[in-house]
Amino acid sequence: MHTLTGSNTTRQINGVGKKTALKCLLACSDEALDVTARLGEGDLPSPDVVNECMRYLCSFISPNLSPGEILWKTFMGLSYVTGIDKIPPTYGTWYQHILRAHLQAYVWLQDTIVDPVYLYPLKCGWEVSDNKVRPVLSFDSIAATDTLAQLVKCSCGINKCARRCTCRQNNDTCNELCKCTGNEDCLNTHAILEEEEDI
């Protein structure tokens, strides 16, 4: 648990303290605990270990949802002024974090060995950048952040997407990300804009 939730060498999950992490750990099944206890065994974590660690990390935010589902659910709940910094990590970001936790657990499992064998960090969530070893930033998290930063969504209620609608002000139509969901009652959809152009 300590390597996954943050230690001196692995990053803490934003907004998740040890109390929450322990509560989520105690809610895990015995089978899940057995699998996650294998973190640090072998050169890389097995797919089973990755999946259970992922499930455990996701339980901090919303149990029984995948990283993609949590990302979508959180994004849909954001207000226009909240910003994308509140969006949780993507699958790729969690995976890189699990690799770094695996490396740390591997080291700790050898704490009584005189000549321990170390894993190559550049295969376990680390990279060299500017002559420094830094955590790998997942490509999907960068792409998701750039994409989400460009998305515009309004927080208008149904039938209120008129002049003050954020989407309309940005010359865009409302869509399923908006609070109005861009349904047929919305005043800022492709169909309505086409009608206005015809007039």
| Cα-based distances in Å from 13 to 61, 93, 94, 156 | 11, 11, 10, 32
3-state DSSP assignment of residue 4: helix
pLDDT score recorded for residue 198 = 47
User: Tokens for 198?
Assistant: 């015809």
* Residue 24 confidence (pLDDT): 81
pTM for the structure as a whole: 0.67
12 near 6, Cβ under 8 Å? yes
Q: What is the DSSP string of 95-155?
A: HHHHHHHHHHHHHHTTTT-SS-----GGGTTEEEETTEEEEPPPHHHHHHHHHHHH-----
The domain ranges of the chain are 2-150, 166-198
pLDDT by 10s per residue, the chain, length 199: 677 777 666 666 766 777 888 888 888 888 888 888 899 999 999 999 999 988 888 888 888 888 888 877 777 776 655 555 667 777 888 899 899 999 999 999 999 999 999 999 999 999 999 999 998 877 655 555 555 545 667 777 766 777 778 787 777 788 777 878 778 788 877 645 445 554 4
In whole angstroms, what is the distance from residue 109 CA to residue 170 CA?
A: 55
